[in-house]
Amino acid sequence: MFPIDIRPDKLGEEMLDYSRKLGHGMENLINAGDIDTGVTPKDAVYHDDKLTLYRYRRPSDVAQQKVPLLVVYALVNRPYMTDIQENRSTVKGLLGTGQDVYLIDWGYPDQADRALTLDDYINGYLDGCVDHIRETHGLDKINILGICQGGSFSLMYTALHPNKVQNLVTMVTPVDFKTPDNMLSNWVQNIDVDLAVDTMGNIPGEILNWTFLSLKPFSLTGQKYVNMVDLLDDPDKVKNFLRMEKWIFDSPDQAGETFRQFIKDYYQNNAFMEGKARVGDRPVDLKQITCPVLNIYAQQDHLVPPASSKALNGMTGSEDYTELAFPGGHIGIYVSGKAQKEVTPAIGNWLNERS
Amino acid sequence: MANDTWFNEDWLKLQQRYWENLADMSRKAMGLEAPRQNPWEAAMDQWWQAVSPAASDPSKQFMNRLMEQGKAYFATVERFTRGLAGADGSAGWDALNKTLDEMQRGFTDALSSGFGANPFAAGGSTGAAEDAMHRMLGFWEMPLDNWQRMMSSMTPAMPGDLLRNMPHEQVKENFDRMLSAPGLGYTREEQAQYQDLMRRGMDYQRAFQDYMGFFAKLGIKSVERLRDFVQSRASEGKPIDSARDLYDSWVSCCETVYAEDVNTPEYARIHGQLVNAQMALKNRMSVMVDETLGALNMPTRSELRTLQDRMQETRRENKRLRREIDSIRRQIAERPAASPARAAAAEAPAAPKKKAAARKKTAAKAGARAER
């Protein structure tokens, strides 16, 4: 049998259909207007340089937990991913489980922030946010939820300040940066990070965009847009797509010194696994993390492979360590319908049992 | 279902009719008259030229992306259907293999030409069939295109493809000799800098050609993967029966081969080389720009960085001190209430106490030294 059976009349129909959808979709694109992100009402409660700490307004019909939760997002991309739209919001889901949710927005570093180090981010900015929340609530310890690179930051922070963290949740967090399936890690092994940072100062967001698109270039820069045409008839789907598109390309520049340290120490030298992690002049010993730990990873994660996250098992000093596998990808873990049903409630319940 | 009847002598006529009808259908769908060339693409282009001024910039950019990918999508399908035109069942395989061979040859030519004359570029093509071929192969340029877009956005004065097609091997020897000549006289340093700049430019171009070469090899492998894939579909009795199925299969083959090969030490080397070469070039340019700015008595990037470093160090120190002060204030506030006089008495000796201890230590050290 011959393997290609594309009848001309059917092909004609397909092309016509594609054209028609594009034509009609144009109307929806023109009417899409501004793309709003970050849907849940919130208040800025604390500032430090370009950092803003937000506190989300709690729903009145949900019993409030006493210990607040601080969400620590990555420096890469923007934290509104956690609250990207009404029916796909990790933040909203957490509020629904009674968490009092705070979120760090690191802002957009410019060249004046080039000299910020990991120490400044972790023992400066992050610690400042934690102290602000502790003082506001009159508590010694709070809960932390670290996402992706923010999860790595949270591990460092908790190891350095164990007396300030009640429970730690890490989501799609890289721990072992040299698992064989880690493409990003493979790509940076031969990069002269010192030369890059000395040359560029800050690392432009465009480089990060290019890097992430290069993980699946044909799907992410080609096929995705062909598939998109099927959604153009539906104004809501168009808006959702544009929202994701905005997020994907909304990449802040990376403060040069922090980038230098993070890539060299973690991606090139696997500092957690090698026991060589340091922040400022202090060594980071993950065994100092004795609070309960919930480690969530995505089974189809192409950015942080599951093995990279699962390496945390046994690395901390916690006697209450739980793992949760999500059947999806790095982004789906916040925005998919399944994540809203499975991941967010699981975090809320786990925290509620321990707060 | 596929059967021999689709690949008989009438197929070509049927397809010609189809393209003509399609052109009419496309024009009707868009409500516009389109030239009778590549029908779908031409109709789309004309329609887009008419309506795009009404769109906002973000929408326009987005639609451009959709249009471009739509063209790549149908170019892929068009290439296959044209290649199969007129073939009967048994000859179908020959026609398909011929199409795949041509695709592989496109990548091989790209490799052998050293990308000196970019064979993927559609600009120099002579007809719709060639355009389709170029666009289809150009699909494999997406990773390269991403690199160039990124690089152009970072270095506005140097478009991403500035060095891409610069003759390399042919001029390398003479160029190297010229660049190794020492600078002379009053402008010796300046000459040396320009020589270094050119050397770095050549290094970058070499790295970029290695990078493109790697992708051309991946292209050849992807076509082979597609060949295996269609054969497996034939064995399973599940023919590819739609444009989307064919396109998705091609994307899947490309993506699978890509994922296998970019997770290798060889790619890590090529990728690292490319990024490092670009940074080295940019670094030299920055130094030269700084020197020019310095000569004009203007602030340089280097000076700004020194100031940024010092300022950050000062801010760090200030923040640390502020925290210490806050902590001390809190400790004081938390102490049990005492009479103002006692509190003052308690506060006052606190500092000297440390100092006294320090003095004691100093005295002890001095004593110890004296004893040696």
Q: For chain A, report the end-to-end CA distance as a whole number of angstroms.
A: 64
Amino acid at B317: E
Q: What is the domain extent for residue B234?
A: 55-295
* B78 and B201 share one domain: yes
* pLDDT given for residue B370 in this prediction: 43
List, in order, residues 6 or more apart from A221 with CB less than 8 Å away. A213, B142, B145, B146
Strands A278-279 and A101-105, bridge-based pairing: unpaired
Give me the residues paired with residue A44 across strands.
A54
- Classify residue A266: in a domain, yes or no: no
Q: Contact, B104 vs B224, CB < 8 A?
A: yes
* B241 and B313 share one domain: no
Average of per-residue pLDDT across B72-95: 70
Q: Is the pLDDT of residue B95 over 70?
A: yes
Structure tokens at A241: 């797509």
Residue contact A112–B308, C-beta within 8 A: yes
* B65 and B186 share one domain: yes
Q: Is the pLDDT of residue A346 over 80?
A: yes
Whole-number Å distance between alpha carbons of B207 and B272: 9
Given B271, B295, B319, which residue is the final one in a domain?
Answer: B295
* pLDDT given for residue B108 in this prediction: 79
pLDDT, tens digit, 9 for 90 and up, residues B167-185: 555 556 666 666 676 766 7
* pLDDT given for residue A7 in this prediction: 74
Q: What is the domain extent for residue A129?
A: 42-188+277-354
* pLDDT given for residue B6 in this prediction: 33
Find the helix or strand (DSSP H, E) in which B92 lies.
helix B89-112
Residue contact A2–B234, C-beta within 8 A: yes
* Residue A201 DSSP class: S
- Classify residue B307: in a domain, yes or no: yes
| Contacts with A, B 113-172, CB within 8 Å | 139, 142-143, 145-147, 149-150, 153-154
User: Which residue of A7, A9, A11, A179 is the best one to mutate when testing the B interface, meaning the one whose CB has the most B CBs within 10 A?
Assistant: A11
What CATH number does the domain containing A343 carry? 3.40.50.1820
What is the crossing angle of helices B89-112 and B57-83, to 10°?
120
3-state helix, strand, coil in chain A (%, to 5): 50, 15, 35
Burial label for B321, CB within 10 Å (0-12, 13-18, 19+), is exposed
Whole-number Å distance between alpha carbons of A264 and A191: 10
Nearest residue to A171 (alpha-carbon basis) of A245, A255, A65, A82: A82
Residue B229 CB neighbour total at 10 angstroms:
17
* B137 and B160 share one domain: yes
Residue contact B240–A124, C-beta within 8 A: no
Q: Is the pLDDT of residue B142 over 70?
A: no
Q: Contact, A146 vs A154, CB < 8 A?
A: yes
Whole-number Å distance between alpha carbons of B372 and B369: 5
pLDDT, tens digit, 9 for 90 and up, residues B181-228: 676 677 777 788 888 888 898 899 899 889 888 988 888 999 999 999
- Classify residue B16: in a domain, yes or no: no
- Classify residue A73: in a domain, yes or no: yes
Give me the residues paired with residue A55 across strands.
A43, A102
- Classify residue B43: in a domain, yes or no: no
Q: Is the pLDDT of residue A142 over 80?
A: yes
Q: Is the pLDDT of residue A88 over 50?
A: yes
Residue contact B267–A186, C-beta within 8 A: yes
- Classify residue A316: in a domain, yes or no: yes
Find the helix or strand (DSSP H, E) in which A146 lies.
strand A142-147
Q: Is the pLDDT of residue A62 over 80?
A: yes
* B131 and B238 share one domain: yes
Whole-number Å distance between alpha carbons of B276 and A262: 18
* pLDDT given for residue B34 in this prediction: 41
Residues of chain A contacting residue B51, judged by C-beta atoms under 8 Å apart: 26
pTM assigned to the model: 0.81
User: Which residue of B5, B12, B66 is the best one to mutate when testing the A interface, meaning the one whose CB has the most A CBs within 10 A?
Assistant: B66
Q: Write phi, then psi, for B286 (nearest 5 degrees).
A: -65, -40
- Classify residue B261: in a domain, yes or no: yes
Whole-number Å distance between alpha carbons of A65 and A351: 9
Residues of chain B contacting residue A32, judged by C-beta atoms under 8 Å apart: 59
- Classify residue B267: in a domain, yes or no: yes
Residues of chain B contacting residue A206, judged by C-beta atoms under 8 Å apart: 149-150, 153-154
Structure tokens at A204: 């432009």
Residue contact A16–B74, C-beta within 8 A: no
Whole-number Å distance between alpha carbons of B34 and A3: 33
- Classify residue B340: in a domain, yes or no: no
Q: Contact, B30 vs B22, CB < 8 A?
A: no
* B115 and B210 share one domain: yes
Locate the DSSP E strands across B279-321: none
Whole-number Å distance between alpha carbons of B216 and B254: 12
* pLDDT given for residue B309 in this prediction: 94
pLDDT, chain A, mean:
93
The residue of chain A with its CA nearest to that of B65 is A225
Structure tokens at B286: 């920055």
Length of chain B: 372
**Residue found by looking up tokens 């002890």 in the block:** B364
What is the crossing angle of helices B57-83 and A235-249, to 10°?
100
ipTM value, please give it: 0.89
Whole-number Å distance between alpha carbons of A251 and A203: 11
The catalytic residue among A148, A155, A298, A347 is A148
Residues of chain A contacting residue B146, judged by C-beta atoms under 8 Å apart: 210, 213-214, 217, 221
Domain count, chain A: 1
Farthest CA pair distance, chain B: 113
Q: Is the pLDDT of residue B97 over 90?
A: no
* B162 and B213 share one domain: yes
- Classify residue B59: in a domain, yes or no: yes
* B306 and B264 share one domain: no
User: Which residue of A14, A15, A50, A114 is the best one to mutate when testing the B interface, meaning the one whose CB has the most B CBs within 10 A?
Assistant: A15
Q: Contact, B110 vs B216, CB < 8 A?
A: yes
* pLDDT given for residue A181 in this prediction: 93
Burial label for A140, CB within 10 Å (0-12, 13-18, 19+), is exposed
Residues of chain B contacting residue A210, judged by C-beta atoms under 8 Å apart: 146-147, 149-150
Q: Which of A216-225, A287-296, A339-348, B279-288 has the lowest mean pLDDT?
A: A216-225
- From the list A4, A180, A229, which residue is nearest B66 (CB)? A229
Q: Contact, A116 vs B312, CB < 8 A?
A: yes
- From the list B67, B242, B275, which residue is nearest A6 (CB)? B242
* B261 and B313 share one domain: no
* B307 and B266 share one domain: no
Residue B227 CB neighbour total at 10 angstroms:
18
Give me the residues paired with residue A46 across strands.
A53
* pLDDT given for residue B74 in this prediction: 76
- Classify residue A304: in a domain, yes or no: yes
- From the list B15, B146, B239, which residue is nearest A213 (CB)? B146
Residues of chain A contacting residue B86, judged by C-beta atoms under 8 Å apart: none
Given B295, B320, B343, which residue is the final one in a domain?
Answer: B295
Given B237, B270, B295, which residue is the final one in a domain?
Answer: B295
Residue contact B150–A245, C-beta within 8 A: no
- Classify residue B40: in a domain, yes or no: no
* B321 and B221 share one domain: no
* B260 and B317 share one domain: no
* pLDDT given for residue B96 in this prediction: 83
How far is B260 from chain A, CA to nearest CA, in Å? 10
* Residue B30 DSSP class: H
* pLDDT given for residue B282 in this prediction: 92
Q: Is the pLDDT of residue B83 over 80?
A: no
Amino acid at A80: Y
How far is B125 from chain A, CA to nearest CA, in Å? 22
Domain count, chain B: 2
Q: Could you tell me how far CA A140 lies from the centroid of its own chain? A: 27
Whole-number Å distance between alpha carbons of B36 and A11: 18
Residues of chain A contacting residue B276, judged by C-beta atoms under 8 Å apart: 190-192, 195-196
In this predicted model, which residue has the larger pLDDT, A328 or B70? A328
Catalytic-residue membership of A291:
no
